[in-house]
A and B are shown apart, each in its own frame.
Chain A
């Protein structure tokens, strides 16, 4: 699942992941993402940190409260130190902007099937 408010960026991520064989669901903000999660659990969550309204931080807090570590979260961030950002919010992994498409595919591949939920 992509949690991303920038429609062009989410489209490109969706495109790349789709072409690589994944099924992709997009949520425009944290709240929509939580609603979507109630309906269906993805294998990985790609989370944009810089969203208006219900932002990345708030989403993670709500997610952990409801789902613990069932699904790995990868934070997508333009922050200077992406790794640091991931550690700050206790995410499983990170993707620094601007990223290579290969980096995107690799990080998703790494975590698909890694969550604690049953496959």
Chain B
């Protein structure tokens, strides 16, 4: 602008001087022309400048609007009177309303309309409302609320609200709230809490047995001594059970963190299957465990983990086919893979539950008369282990007829030799 002023003045003065020197007769006409020309040029110049600035401002505004609108979390802007003056797409989705206009109401009215409550189900007190507090100058982080949408569904929301001042110590003109849908997070938290209490519950039984036996050893030493082999086996088994349960707990959290390390060895999968089955003799009293295996089913995998997978599947097969019967384990080569199956003739799994089987905490029989307790982690862990080995696990099952769980692992290269496990 200053540059323009300087240039214009210089131009005016220099042309005046030249005109005065060379064409003094038409000086006046020249001056009028110059004046007109100068005004026009300045006007054009100013218009261009102003237009550009206006465009910049508009662009800035649009970008800000886009930013607010595109934010993954819901945004609500509330003025001093409590009216909602701005909201965004995420907020519209959160509240499941038709469009943003539906939310441009006083926040108290919105609170009533959506029955906003604390997670404990208590209604929000007028003075305790996060918006009021923000308008009074308080910044609130992650206040949890429950919102009821028009279709009846409930959403858990984490609200962070702050006052907006136009300068550092200026007056508070607005409150801005960022709303995050934490329904899924809360659901997982609830699952985890359930899981932890189930785990504690599960541990009580083997601990009861261990404790009782140890006390028997002291209280009835003669009777215990007479049956000491049996007592020893029993104590050992129960310790293993406790160890397995706590291991399951650890596994789940480790799997979560992705820090499960595999100690791979080359071994015969059929041998490992046999070992797993042998370890259950004495525990499995009513069932007949059968191994049907081909020769030369070598894989390169972590034997301890795959042993765990077998134990889990065998355990399930036995648990869900009470009344005894056969549990058949098959191991064979198919293409470049080794496939193992554990089949029982038990109660089977309903088709609509099969899809959920391998997920964490899911139990196909929970709440039914076949509920065996347990933590619903076994199959989840099996799947994680198998997929870390680049294998697959799946199930065939018919209610009332039985289930067959299959998993496959890549076969070891042809020239591989089995290591001792």
Contacts and interface: CB of A to CB of B under 8 A. Distances in A.
Contact of B208 (A55, A97, A102): A97
B201 A78 contact: yes
Interface stretch (B93-101, B219-227, B353-361): B219-227
Interface in A42-60: 50, 52-55
Interface in A1-42: 6-9, 11-13, 15-16, 18-20
B227 A98 contact: no
Contacts of A55: 369
A40 B7 CA distance: 120
A100 B238 contact: no
Contact of B209 (A12, A18, A50): A12
B220 A9 contact: no
B351 interface: no
B19 interface: no
B322 A53 contact: yes
Interface in A85-106: 97-102, 104
B275 interface: no
Contacts of A7: 285
Nearest to B370: A52
B370 A8 contact: no
B212 A78 contact: no
A101 B208 CA distance: 9
Given A8-B209, A12-B212, A19-B216, A98 B369 contact: no
A53 B219 CA distance: 35
A19 B201 CA distance: 29
B173 interface: no
The CB with the most chain B CB atoms within 10 A, among A20, A52, A54, is that of: A52
Contacts of A102: 215, 219
A103 to B, nearest CB: 10
A52 B205 contact: no
A100 B212 CA distance: 6
Interface string A47-88: 000101111000000000000000000000010000000000
Contact of B204 (A11, A54, A78): A78
Nearest to A55: B369
A100 B207 contact: no
Contacts of A13: 212
A8 B213 CA distance: 10
Contact of A12 (B204, B213, B322, B369): B213
A97 B216 contact: no
A11 to B, nearest CB: 6
Most B Cβ at <10 Å: residue of A6, A12, A13, A18? A12
Contacts of B207: 97-98
Given A8-B238, A9-B209, A12-B209, A101 B216 contact: yes
B373 interface: yes
B408 to A, nearest CB: 31
Contact of A11 (B234, B370, B373): B234
Contacts of B212: 9, 12-13, 16, 98-99, 101, 104
B371 interface: yes
Contacts of A54: 369
A15 B223 contact: yes
Given A15-B216, A16-B216, A78-B201, A8 B371 contact: no
A8 B373 CA distance: 17
A98 B212 CA distance: 8
Interface of A: 6-9, 11-13, 15-16, 18-20, 50, 52-55, 78, 97-102, 104
Closest 5 CB pairs of A and B: A78-B204, A19-B220, A98-B208, A101-B215, A97-B208
Given A9-B205, A100-B215, 15 more contacts: A8-B206, A12-B213, A12-B216, A15-B213, A15-B216, A15-B220, A15-B227, A16-B220, A53-B370, A55-B369, A97-B205, A98-B204, A98-B212, A99-B208, A104-B212
9 contacts: A8-B206, A12-B212, A19-B223, A52-B322, A52-B369, A97-B204, A97-B207, A100-B215, A102-B215
Interface of B: 201, 204-209, 211-213, 215-216, 219-220, 223-224, 227, 230, 234, 237-238, 285, 319, 322, 369-373
